Structure 1
């Protein structure tokens, strides 16, 4: 007998969100973590349709913008897929492997810095390969991610989906599926501000912080567009090293 879909008739079967006492900047991660737990613990199963946007707004008592950003993060992590005009559905869990980076591995600043160190070596080489192998379609996708990031700055969004998308497009431009597969596995967890509030606590201020990140992304894009492998490697290394240092400076001693 197939598993019973608990959505629709019995939405109370899903995990209740935490109490309302919380910081506004924690709303998106709260929704992501709660829905991911529903999937992990079987309350949402592969093929199930997520509640509608309106239902999630009511359930979590948040705005539509917050819900949309949470869904974007779940999409980027490969947990759900949206079929336009139909809805958003739970995807099959990724194949298990011995290598695992879980949300609990991001409990401290030191944990996030450790992941940035991994990304520095991985993504710097990816940017170099992307500069050598990219095609026009890759550049168009990167440019679209940059435009979305810039639009998010204007809307005061945290720009996490477009930030992740830019790095994903660089990985895809390598022509080596393993780079993209690993980025898909890591998902938006690789963006430090999904776990640590770097933007708000950054010395230069939240808006300047995002503009600086955008400028660093543009330099990576320009080097890849120019097919300058060395410049692309350096631009990516500089960007991620700056993220690491910003993170360290933004946290209290």
Structure 2
């Protein structure tokens, strides 16, 4: 039985068609790997031109909701969820929200502390071999950060990788997805704001405490080290913004 779609009006038809198809995908009327009707069939159903349908399909492809396949059995198919693409989209949206002021520094610090604390507790409770690689990655980044010749950009990149490994150590797929916005979006923004006023040795000290606590499976010490790191970062945020406000316009 053909899937029924809501009718659309001519204004922003491509967007409305994309929204209608997206709704059909989200509520399960269109299944993963199911082939969509052809452009001609969709044009007839929605009573629009094929270029309008093509534009709607481009929107869905940009959101990784559909994929195209060529050949006799080709067409447009509902795509299976790609965690990496979804996480990247979340990080991009988060970065934009910070840029326009929808997410403030206090919100950033609070969210980071709460979510990363969960990662610390989960990592400290794990005893399986899968924990070995993330902890080794954290050790490597800590050693790299102690290199005085490291540039600010390289230090910031290492900082992101250190916390990315911490998230991986938690071993929770959904938490990894949610933390992508924190580690890949908020942390680089934070580093960009505070790199001139922070002390590398302080960051290294917090990282060393955090790693040692996880190696000892001490969740309380790990969350304490993280709390001190976030508090230090929050203070440096405020200091950096105060210095910026003092500059002559």
TM-score (norm 1): 0.53
Residues 80-229 of structure 1 correspond to what in structure 2 (within 5 A)? 93-94=85-86, 100-107=93-100, 111-133=104-126, 135-151=131-147, 153-158=148-153, 159-191=155-187, 196-200=192-196, 202=197, 209-229=199-219
Q: Which residue of 1 is the match for residue 78 of structure 2?
A: none
The structure-2 alpha-carbon separation of the partners of 1:149 and 1:118, relative to structure 1 and needing over 3 Å to count, comes to same
3-state SS in 2 of match to 1:251: helix
Structure 2 unaligned regions, length at least 5: 1-58, 65-83
Alpha carbons 1:223, 1:229 under 8 Å: kept = yes
Q: Call closer, same or farther: CA 1:132–1:140 in 2, change over 3 Å.
A: same
In the alignment, what sits opposite 1:238? 228
CA distance 1:242–1:173, shift in 2 (3 Å): same
Question: Contact conserved, 2:115 with 2:179, CA < 8 A, in 1?
Answer: no
With over 3 angstroms needed to count, the CA separation of the structure-2 counterparts of 1:220 and 1:187, relative to structure 1, is closer
Give the drift of 1:113: 3.0
Q: Residues 108 and 150 (structure 1 numbering): CA distance in 2 closer, same or farther, change over 3 Å?
A: farther
Deviation of residue 218 (structure 1)? Answer: 0.7
More helix by share: 2
SS at match of 1:166: helix
Q: Which runs of 5+ in 1 are unaligned?
A: 1-40, 47-91
- Cα displacement string for residues 120-173 of structure 1 (whole angstroms, at most 9, x for unaligned residues): 11111211221121622221111112123233x422333122111111111111
Structure 1 distance, partners of 2:125, 2:205, is: 22
1:65-117 Cα distance to aligned partner (Å, 9 max, x none): xxxxxxxxxxxxxxxxxxxxxxxxxxx843767x9423242345972332111
- Alpha-carbon distance change, 234 to 187 in structure 1, aligned in 2, over 3 angstroms: closer
Give the conservation status (yes or no) of the 8 Å contact 1:116–1:240.
yes
How much does 1:195 deviate?
6.5
Q: Distance in 2 between matches of 1:220 and 1:136?
A: 15
Helix, strand or coil for the counterpart of 1:227?
A: coil
Report the TM-score when normalising by structure 2. Answer: 0.54
Report if the CA contact (8 A) 2:156-2:188 is conserved.
no
SS at match of 2:146: helix
Deviations 1:23-60 (A, max 9, x none): xxxxxxxxxxxxxxxxxx9xx9x9xxxxxxxxxxxxxx
Report the Cα distance in structure 1 between the residues aligned to 2:121 and 2:225, rounded to whole angstroms: 10
The structure number with the bigger radius of gyration is 2
Kindly state the Cα deviation for residue 243 of structure 1 after the two structures are TM-superposed: 0.7
